[in-house]
Amino acid sequence: ISLQVNKSGGNASSPLMYGFMFEDINHSGDGGLYGQMLQNNGLQGTSPDLTAWGAVGDATIAIDYDNPLTTAIPHTLRLDVASGTTGTVGVTNAGYWGIPVDGSEHQTYFWIKGDISGDITASLVGNGTGTVYGSTSIPVSSNSDNFTYVEVSLSTEKAPDGDVYFELSLDGADVAGSSLYFGLVQLFPTTYKNRYNGLQPRIANVLEAVGASFLRFPGGNNLEGESLDNRWKWNETIGPVQDRPGREGTWSYYNTDGLGLDEYLYWCEDMGLAPLLAIWAGFALDAGAGTPLTGDALTPYVDDVLNELEVKIIINPLHMSIAKRRQYVLGDSSTTYGAIRAANGRTEPWNVTLVEIGNEDNLGGGCVSYTERFTAFYDAIHAKYPSLTLIASTNDASCLPSPMPSGAMMDYHDYNTPDGLVAQFDYFDNVDRSNSLLVGEYAQNDVEYPIMQGAVGEAVFMMGMERNSDLIKMASYAPLLQLVNSTQWTPNLIPFTQSPDNVVETTSYYVQQMFSVNHGDTIKEVTSDSAFGPVYWVASSASDSSYFVKLANYGSDTQDLSVSISGLSTAKLTVVGDDDPNAANTPDESPVVPVESTLSSSNGTFTFTLPAWSVAVLAAS
């Protein structure tokens, strides 16, 4: 197959082409990317239980309903120590199916109530082995009238696996015959970029290496909620974590919301991602449970979004209580609350320019009301923030106003078989081009972990997007992360266990990375002697005169290629592939890795062989 890249002309390609879609699914947030590692740490929810907690020594634990830490954290963990007790007593937490102790300095934060005058020891201990990976004792002086806040730093040694539990212990003789109350116990490693309440670095580093350009959050179905009351409520995800009540998530587990709106925006800033903030748009997943909202019933929710945007775009109220938020927002830095805001380190507004109205409103009965709901939110937001790019949650014309407002974008989702993704290669050649598209979710389906054939199918689909760069401005694979112990959806881009190093770069991960890192700003015309299939391609150039030719071989035969880019002499060829179309990287084995080589051209022509079931990028300069 012979390809010739035309160096002149071309169509502009969006700098935001490849991004991330994140929602808390598969414990991707709590137990995953969010740095806090203790499960059920706030005993949250209307029916709390003792999941993950245990007692140490001659003592018992119970949920206490009468000693709330805050109104948001009304339940605490009671440790009852009988009279005459001697020896060590305390509480343990098993984490989210273990704790990934990575060898960094760890921090634990908790509140305690009870008459203590002695040492409390925080430890990380191997289940069964008793190996201590970190342990620190600090003197605590607390009383039974008020909660005392305690912070402990633990130096740790890296654990060989995630089979580790956390323990807070003290001398039983010091507290015999009394009850102690533990409130919101937290444990963090040294976080990504060392942020307070930040991200797990082992996962964040793997994300960072993708070189993505935007983050679509916080859902997904998890934005919508099962019912009106269970929607993602932005205003309950900000401020001190002890003021965040959490919520019943959509994906069958309670969300702490410790990873809240500000944390998402810090993630964006720290990773160079443009935030794409999805807002709740009057529709919950269970259409019978109070939604869709229409007419006047929508107004409070439209107003709520305007508050969200004002709060988030104008200032950041991190560390302020919900009650103080209004004053905090409206005060300039000469006012009491504005000065506190500046002292909190966030004087600059957040850089939010992209807002999506709802999620998949074409589905589940949402379509009929979406024109009205989209218009209500669009008109209100656009009037106040005309420079924001607003995105409809579907491109199904039957659910949308006609015409769509110019400048608004639309969202297209496609979970498909490998063959189905390949068949979509020319889908974007043939759609209406009046409004640009976000492809907010796409992936191969029907497998446990991304297989090589599916990854090649995704690459072909993505080439179809790049070739239509006038139309497709952004695209994000979904779902992004998966704690394999608690899976609601497969496949995912990055599965992980709690073993510190076990964060899996799947076949699809490598395709995302190769496409993202090697993305030019101009899509170039390519002439060839062959039709598309089984080999597909797209070429682009960057402002520094480098060229990227992306190739996919969707077949079991090797393919000989010659690629001509006049005047260029050397190139780096990166290839990921496997003879076995079902090859997959999993938590148990990772047989598929990209291979790099350096090529020299003959008068601007590079020759090489594409392996079976492979994706390649030729980067030439």
Contact, 415 vs 445, CB < 8 A? yes
Residues of this chain that interact with ligand AHR (CB under 6 A) are 23, 219-221, 359-360, 441, 478-479, 489
Kindly state the smallest distance separating residue 447's Cβ from ligand AHR, in Å.
15
Residue number, 415 or 427, with CB nearest to ligand AHR: 415
Task: Pick the closer one to ligand AHR by CB: 165 or 477.
Answer: 477
In angstroms, rounded to a whole number, what is the distance separating the alpha carbons of residues 449 and 460?
19
CB of 486 to ligand AHR, least distance (A): 15
> Which of 487/621 has CB closer to ligand AHR?
487
Q: How far is the CB of 363 from ligand AHR (least distance, A)?
A: 7
Mention every residue, 6+ apart, whose C-beta is less than 8 A from residue 67: 76, 78, 113, 181
Nearer to ligand AHR, 150 or 409 (CB): 409
- Least Cα distance to 513 among 438, 609, 585 occurs for 585
Cis peptide before 403 (omega within 30 of 0): yes
Least separation, in Å, of the C-beta of 511 and ligand AHR?
18
Which two three-digit tokens encode residue 596? 């790099």
User: In this complex, which beta carbon is closest to ligand AHR, that of residue 90 or of residue 218?
Assistant: 218
User: Which lies closer to ligand AHR via its Cβ, residue 489 or residue 608?
Assistant: 489
The type of residue at 529 is D
Residue burial 486-523, b: 16+ Cβ < 10 Å; e: rest: bbbbbbbbbbbbbbbebbbbbbbbbbbbbbbbbbbbbb
Question: Minimum CB separation from ligand AHR for residue 531, in Å?
Answer: 33
**CB closer to ligand AHR, 171 vs 441:** 441
Nearer to ligand AHR (CB atom), residue 493 or residue 511: 493
Nearer to ligand AHR by Cβ, of 97 and 489: the residue is: 489
Backbone phi, psi, residue 452, to 5°: -60, -45
Give the residue with the Cβ less far from ligand AHR, 359 or 395: 359
Q: Which amino acid is at 294?
A: T
Residues with Cβ within 8 Å of residue 80, at least 6 apart in sequence: 59, 60, 61, 62, 179
Between 95 and 358, name the residue whose CB sits nearer to ligand AHR.
358
Q: Smallest gap, in angstroms, from Cβ of residue 19 to ligand AHR?
A: 14
With H, G, I as helix, E, B as strand and everything else as coil, classify residue 49.
Answer: coil
Q: Are 506 and 450 in contact (CB under 8 A)?
A: yes
Distance of closest approach, residue 444 Cβ to ligand AHR, in angstroms: 13
CB of 272 to ligand AHR, least distance (A): 23
CA distances to 57, 128, 147, 175, 181 from 141, rounded to whole Å, are 21, 32, 11, 12, 14
Tell me the longest C-alpha to C-alpha distance in the chain.
89
CA atoms of 398 and 456, how far apart (whole Å): 32
Q: How far is the CB of 221 from ligand AHR (least distance, A)?
A: 4
Minimum CB distance to ligand AHR, residue 492 (Å): 9
- Distance CA(5)–CA(526), nearest Å, equals 5
Q: How far is the CB of 488 from ligand AHR (least distance, A)?
A: 8
Closer Cβ to ligand AHR, 167 or 360, answer by number = 360
- Using CB positions, name the residue nearest to ligand AHR: 220
CA distance 343 to 322: 18
Position 211, amino acid? G
To the nearest 5 percent, what fractions of the chain are helix, strand and coil? Answer: 20, 30, 45
The CA–CA distances, whole Å, from 92 to 61, 69, 161, 178, 472 equal 10, 19, 18, 19, 50
DSSP 336-389: HHHHHHHHTT--SPP---EEEESS-TTSTT-HHHHHHHHHHHHHHHHHH-TTSE
What 3-state class would DSSP assign to 228?
helix
The minimum distance between CB 97 and ligand AHR, in angstroms, equals 21
Residues 233, 246: Cα–Cα separation, whole Å? 9
